[in-house]
């Protein structure tokens, strides 16, 4: 079995939720870990797509009932 490669930096995260309080809480929880960095947030599907086109993320935390397309 191949060893798991080591990360060169923190995990880059995008948070997408239409509730600002939820985004703020998620950011605080995720950034409490040394190897997590919330790089961007979006409040709707359109904003999410714009952020994804603008930069690369390792993980996107998405609200599955997000209004919009």
Distances (CA, A) of 17 to 4, 10, 41, 52: 31, 22, 8, 14
Give how many domains the chain has, as a whole number. 1
Q: What is the C-alpha to C-alpha distance for residues 14 and 5, in angstroms, rounded to an integer?
A: 22
CATH number of the domain bearing residue 36: 3.40.50.2300
- Determine, yes or no, domain membership for 17: yes
Give average pLDDT by consecutive 10-residue segment, the chain, 69 residues: 75 96 96 92 94 96 84
Domain region containing 35: 11-62
pTM recorded for the entire structure: 0.84
Contacts of 48 (CB under 8 A, 6+ apart): 14, 16, 42, 60, 62, 66
């Amino acid at each position: 079995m191949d060893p798991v490669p080591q990360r060169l930096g923190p995990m880059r995260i995008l948070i997408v939720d239409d509730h600002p309080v939820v985004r703020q809480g998620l950011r605080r929880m995720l950034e409490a870990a040394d190897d997590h960095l919330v790089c961007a947030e979006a409040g709707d599907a359109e904003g999410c797509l714009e952020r994804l086109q603008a930069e690369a993320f390792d993980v996107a935390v998405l609200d599955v009932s997000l209004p919009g397309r």
